[in-house]
Structure 1
Amino acid sequence: MKYLILTILTLLISCAKKNESENLTTDSKTIEIETLFKMTDKSVKFLWREDEYDKELKDTVNTIFINQEYCKKISEPEKAALGFVSSFIGSECDWDGEPNKKYDNLSCKINTTLNLGYQCSETHLSFLRKWFKNDKKSLKRLTDCSAIPYTASSQETFDYINILTKGDTIIITFRASGVNMRNEESWSYKEEDTFVLKKDNLFFVKSKESENESSSFKIEEEEEEEN
């Protein structure tokens, strides 16, 4: 089943440091925050897909790649914006061993690269709650954090993610693809999410999503070998 899901997804897909003071009240410390979290203007391809040979499957599969050089010098606000977007869509997520009782040991490629901990774990969510502490809508949305492994019969995954930083604004554009094996259907869409940095916290200010492009497919059952 794992191979079948990977094969279908391949065909469907088109293609730092914690240094913050807790109580900051004086003007001098406000300036310190603004300097610490100041972002430089940039446009970066953060995530993309390429075909890669899988030794275990002994076949070529479409695999997620992440811009490692960018991640070495990523700002905390940019990390938070990317971490928020990836809270609801998979990035080749798989359980670290067997799922635990809390189902909070799901390892996802984006979280691992950004050092955010397991998907939807307390480590992951506490980091985001800190950054979106004054954005009630975003905090509420985080309660729907998605912990779905890549082997699930119904799932979504990223095709690409680009990030644009300009002044105090972060714009993340991405394309996601989904598949529902039971219903034999697939879909894809594009989205543009805009975040604004205000001192030491982020606000999710707007989102623009394209219409879903959906299609269906047929899973052919394997014929039993004759004795």
Structure 2
Amino acid sequence: MRVYFYIATLVFLASCGQTNNNLDKNEVSNIDTLTKSNESASSQNYTLTDKTITFLSRDTNSSIVINEEFCKTITEPERAALGYVATFIGNECNWDGDYTDDRSNLKCKILTALNLGYQCSEKHLGFLRQMFKNDNKVLEELKSDNCPTTPDGATIQDTFDEITLTVKGNEILVFFRASGINMREGDSWSWTETDRFQLDKDNIKLIKKDESKVKREKFDTGE
């Protein structure tokens, strides 16, 4: 009887050891799977397709027209390049409701089309900071105290007349025509610019700005 009990005990212990060993292997396997999943999620690499798109134009009433169809398929790097350019030039920005002292509810046409929220909001600047995370010069520009909140109709303002986006390989080129006005002084100006961005896996960098000479004119303010 003791022999049978001894053998049964050995079989039981052996089975427990095998079960625990299998559990350990499963736990390690699960941890490895989760780790790989997190690494994959945090290392998103974007791809681009060559194209040339008219993103912004003006209609017969001089109102801004956005290419909404393109916005449905826009990539994150393209969204970041256009969002960066739109940060510093007016694009039919108006207060969404009553004006607030913190100027936190300025709704701009381009940012709305790009689903970036209000001008200078965390949704707007936070997205750009993430996409330009390795471009220190741009990050300096994207500090909250550098972000303009100029509504449409302000005495002094710039605005877009045209924006064209071109993708070639891993480069994004944003060409635009812009103009400005100073109602108080009777000054107006216009220029063209091409901003060149380069995709680097999960982020972009501003490589170069090609600006034309600014053309200036005077006009009668009627005063």
Alignment TM-score, normalising by the size of structure 1: 0.78
Query: Which structure 2 residue ranges, 5 or more long, are not aligned?
Result: 1-34
Which residue of structure 2 lines up, in the alignment, with residue 198 of structure 1? 200
Confirm whether residue 39 of structure 1 aligns to residue 48 of structure 2: yes
RMSD: 1.9
Query: Counterpart of 2:81 in structure 1: which amino acid?
Result: A
Query: Which structure 1 residue ranges, 5 or more long, are not aligned?
Result: 1-23, 53-61, 222-227
Separation in structure 1 between the aligned mates of residue 135 and residue 60 of structure 2, nearest angstrom: 39
Confirm whether residue 78 of structure 1 aligns to residue 89 of structure 2: no
Query: Counterpart of 1:47 in structure 2: which amino acid?
Result: L
Which residue of structure 2 lines up, in the alignment, with residue 152 of structure 1? 154
Question: Contact between 2:156 and 2:182, CA under 8 Å: does it hold in 1?
Answer: yes
Flag the 1:169–1:97 CA change in 2: closer, same or farther, 3 A: same
Q: Secondary structure at the match of 1:138?
A: helix
1:166 deviation in Å? 1.3
1:186 deviation in Å? 0.2
Q: Secondary structure at the match of 1:81?
A: helix
Q: How do 1:144-223 residues align onto structure 2 when only pairs under 5 Å count? A: 144-221=146-223
Separation in structure 1 between the aligned mates of residue 132 and residue 182 of structure 2, nearest angstrom: 32
1:27-73 CA-to-partner distances (Å, cap 9, x unmatched) read x839x723xx2111100000000123xxxxxxxxx100011111110
Separation in structure 1 between the aligned mates of residue 51 and residue 142 of structure 2, nearest angstrom: 27
Separation in structure 2 between the aligned mates of residue 163 and residue 102 of structure 1, nearest angstrom: 33
Query: Counterpart of 2:47 in structure 1: which amino acid?
Result: K
Separation in structure 2 between the aligned mates of residue 133 and residue 118 of structure 1, nearest angstrom: 21
Confirm whether residue 48 of structure 1 aligns to residue 50 of structure 2: no
Confirm whether residue 122 of structure 1 aligns to residue 122 of structure 2: yes
Identity rate, percent: 49
- Which of the two has higher C-alpha Rg? 2
1:158-182 CA-to-partner distances (Å, cap 9, x unmatched) read 0000000111110000011000001
Alignment TM-score, normalising by the size of structure 2: 0.79
Flag the 1:25–1:99 CA change in 2: closer, same or farther, 3 A: farther
Question: Contact between 2:194 and 2:211, CA under 8 Å: does it hold in 1?
Answer: yes
Q: How do 1:8-157 residues align onto structure 2 when only pairs under 5 Å count? A: 29=40, 33-34=44-45, 37-52=46-61, 62-143=62-143, 144-157=146-159
Query: Would you say how many aligned residue pairs link Structure 1 and Structure 2?
Result: 186
Separation in structure 2 between the aligned mates of residue 112 and residue 163 of structure 1, nearest angstrom: 18
Separation in structure 1 between the aligned mates of residue 125 and residue 200 of structure 2, nearest angstrom: 20
1:136 deviation in Å? 0.5
Separation in structure 2 between the aligned mates of residue 80 and residue 105 of structure 1, nearest angstrom: 21
Q: Secondary structure at the match of 1:78?
A: helix
1:25 deviation in Å? 8.4
1:101 deviation in Å? 2.7
